[in-house]
Structures are given as structure tokens and as C-alpha cells.
Amino acid sequence: MRKRILAIALATTMAFSTAVVAVPSYKNAAVAQAAEEETGAQTFDTFWSGHCLGDEITETEKTVNFKAITDNDPTATGNYNTPVFVIYYGDENKVNGEGYDEVAVIRSDLWSWSAGGDITNPEGYAGTNELTFATENAPADDNAWAAWLAANKKGVDVSYTTSVKDGVVTIKVTNNGITSTTTFKFDETKGKKLYLSVSGEKCTIAKYPKALITTPCDDPFEKSNDNTNTTTKKKSMSVKKVTAKAGTKVVKGTVSVAKAKVKVTVGKAKAKTAKVSGKNFTLKVSSALKKNTKITVKVTKSGYKTVTKTVKVK
């Protein structure tokens, strides 16, 4: 009888041990899967023409790594043709959204400004937020800066790290080895969340959290499907002009390349294909345009990066 009881107890213990061992393996698999966040890409044409949604800055230190590439065209010659980081309080995570209260704008090329001035005026820059700005590994001369920009035109690694500790916000931005660190006092009296939105000028970001992308485009870092497995390099194009006047029934404009495919979205209506002649496009609409209606122009062409421009009816 005692042997039978011992056998039952042993079997129960073994079954329980097996179950316990299996649990961590299941949990680890779930964590690994969750860590594989979907990513996307977004192109920024002219300065302030587009922004990603805001990534909230909290007490939990967080690092976001992504890729960036400067447009390969003759007009992209400035070190500022690289990612830009907008820091702001807000009632929503959108630049110029509800309750938007800007703290600072930080450029990849070790430059920054606030409402009180830029970093050449530390006292003005600091303002009421007690802003500070420090740099690491700054290029030593014009030749070094030129090499840095040339690397950006081939594609570079970019990252930002954010945290709030003891009431002080720290934002560290790195682009191809050069780093800036911005600090300021967190203002709890505003009663708003603090965000970082990525923007830029004549550049594209990729491998960035898809949930924060506002105007998706093709990823310039995706591999081609041929046997060489080389990176697909696409040319850049831009929307030069968009004309949409209130009371008229036409949207027209000009793009930088000929024979591209142009789709125009008026307000909340579905996108329609515009008539293209050379570099010019025209879309006739059924109803007269109303002032301040949002117009979105999306241009695509084989071998070129997709570009989008948004304007309002004047």
C-alpha cells in the first residue's frame, strides 16, 4: 500500500514539474514575437511639410533605432537635409495638433532652437524650460561635414534615446556617429504628455515604427529580389507646385519629372488619378472647391521614391 502511495505521489510531482518547465518556454516565445515590431518608411520633401506621429517621452528610458537616407539630387546640399526631431507637449501626439506646445527642434547636424533662440544664444535657448544642448564627435571641418553628408546620401543608422528622471528630460540623438544631448526640466503644470516627432527635409526615414508613420512610402533600404541581392536605389522627385483655388473645379500642379502617375485626394473623397502632360498634372472635380479643404497629391513612378504633398484650398 505504501509503495502504491509513493508511486502516485512521484507521478504527480513529475507531471507538475513538466508543466512548470514548459511555461517559461512559451512565455519567451511570446516576448520574442512581440519584440518584432512592424516598421515603415516616410519621405520628407520640404521643411515642415510632414511629421511622424509623436512618440511619448516617459520615465522609462527608450531607444528607437532606424535608417535614414538623404535625397540624391543636386538641391540636397545642406547638412540639414537629414532627420529633424520635434519635442513638444500636447493633448494629442501630432505636431500642430490640439494643445501643441513646442519645446525645441533638434536637427541631426548638431543644431537646435527653441522659442527663445538657437544654441548660439544659450541663455535665450534655455528659456523657461532650462534647456541645455551638448554635442559629441562633431565633424572637425567642412571636409568632415561633407563626408558626413555624403554618408547620409548613401544611407545611415539613426537613433534617439529618451527618458525622464528626477524631473529632467534627456533626449540623445545620434546620426552616423555624431551625437547631441538635450536636457530640460519637465513641466508637470502643463498637464500634458510630452512627445518626440520625427520630421526632416529632402530625406527619407525607414525601419521606423509603422504605427508612427503618417504618410507611408517605399522603403529605400529593402533588398531587391534579383540574384545580386543589392540595395534598391531609387531617384528622388518632388511636387514643385499645387494650385487649388476656392470656387473652382480644378486642381493642377507641376512635378519634377515627366510622365509620373499622380493621384489627388480632395478632402475625405477617394483619391483620383490626375491627367498628366509632361511634368504638369490636372484633375477636374465635380463640385467647386471650398476654402481650407485638404488636398493631398501622391506621385509615383518606376525607379523613383514615392512623394506626397499636402496643401489647403486657398
Q: What's the mean pLDDT when you consider all of the chain?
A: 87
Mean pLDDT, rounded, for 91-100: 97
pLDDT category at 32 given cuts 50, 70, 90 is very low
Fold agreement between 39-212 and 239-312: no
Asked if pLDDT for residue 4 goes beyond 50, the answer is no
Indicate yes or no: pTM above 0.85. no
pLDDT category at 204 given cuts 50, 70, 90 is very high
Asked if pLDDT for residue 292 goes beyond 70, the answer is yes
| Superfamily per CATH, domain 239-312 | Immunoglobulins (2.60.40.10)
Mean pLDDT, rounded, for 7-25: 39
pLDDT given at position 270: 87
pLDDT given at position 73: 83
Cα 292 to Cα 266, 268, 269: the distances in Å are 11, 13, 15
- Of 140-144, 252-256, 268-272, the range with the highest mean pLDDT is 140-144
pLDDT category at 10 given cuts 50, 70, 90 is very low
pLDDT given at position 223: 64
Asked if pLDDT for residue 208 goes beyond 80, the answer is yes
Fold of 39-212: Jelly Rolls (2.60.120)
Mean pLDDT, rounded, for 194-216: 97
- Domain ranges in the chain? 39-212, 239-312
Asked if pLDDT for residue 148 goes beyond 80, the answer is yes
Q: What is the 3-state secondary structure (H, E, C) of the chain?
A: CHHHHHHHHHHHHHHHHHHHHHHHHHHHHHHHHHHCCCEEEEEECCCCCCCCCCEECCCCCEEEEEEEEECCCCCCCCCCCCCEEEEEEECCCCCCCCCCEEEEEEECCCEEEECCEECCCHHHHHHHHCCEEEEECCCCCHHHHHHHHHHHHHCEEEEEEEEEECCEEEEEEEECCEEEEEEEECCHHHCCEEEEEEECCCEEEEEEEHHHCCCECCCCCCECCCCCCCECCCECCCEEEEECCCCCCEEEEEECCCCCEEEEEECCCCCEECEEECCEEEEECCCCCCCCCEEEEEEECCCECCEEEEEECC
Q: Which residue has the higher pLDDT, 74 or 96?
A: 96
